[in-house]
């Protein structure tokens, strides 16, 4: 399908590993609006979350920028 936008997602566990935090911290970040996420699976059950890849990469990039500014002062 040409022209279809493919969205990529990470699991909360993958994001936790990337950020070196717990999955519970990632869930708090989702609830706090830091990451957009969507539940997948059967409604009403403990469904896994999928976090938008672009949000995670932007978050990491913003943290790296703050670290480089801090290091240069």
Residue 24, in any domain of the structure:
yes
Q: What is the pLDDT of residue 63?
A: 86
pLDDT along the chain (73 residues), means of 10: 67 94 95 93 75 95 79 64
> pTM for this one?
0.74
Residue 2, in any domain of the structure:
no
Domain limits for position 33:
9-72
Q: What is the pLDDT of residue 37?
A: 95
Residue 21, in any domain of the structure:
yes
Long-range contacts of 6-15, Cβ-Cβ distance < 8 Å, separation of 24 or more? 7/52, 7/53, 8/52, 8/53, 8/54, 9/38, 9/50, 9/51, 9/52, 9/53, 10/50, 10/51, 10/53, 10/56, 11/48, 11/49, 11/50, 11/51, 12/37, 12/48, 12/49, 12/51, 15/51, 15/56
Residue 4, in any domain of the structure:
no
In the chain, the number of structural domains is 1
Q: What is the pLDDT of residue 42?
A: 73
């Amino acid at each position: 399908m040409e022209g279809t936008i493919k969205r990529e997602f990470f699991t909360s566990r993958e994001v936790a590993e990337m950020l070196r935090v717990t999955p519970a911290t990632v869930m708090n970040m989702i609830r706090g609006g830091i990451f957009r996420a969507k539940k997948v699976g059967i409604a009403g059950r403990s469904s896994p979350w999928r976090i938008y890849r672009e949000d995670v990469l932007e978050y990491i990039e913003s943290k790296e920028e703050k670290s480089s500014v801090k290091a240069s002062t």
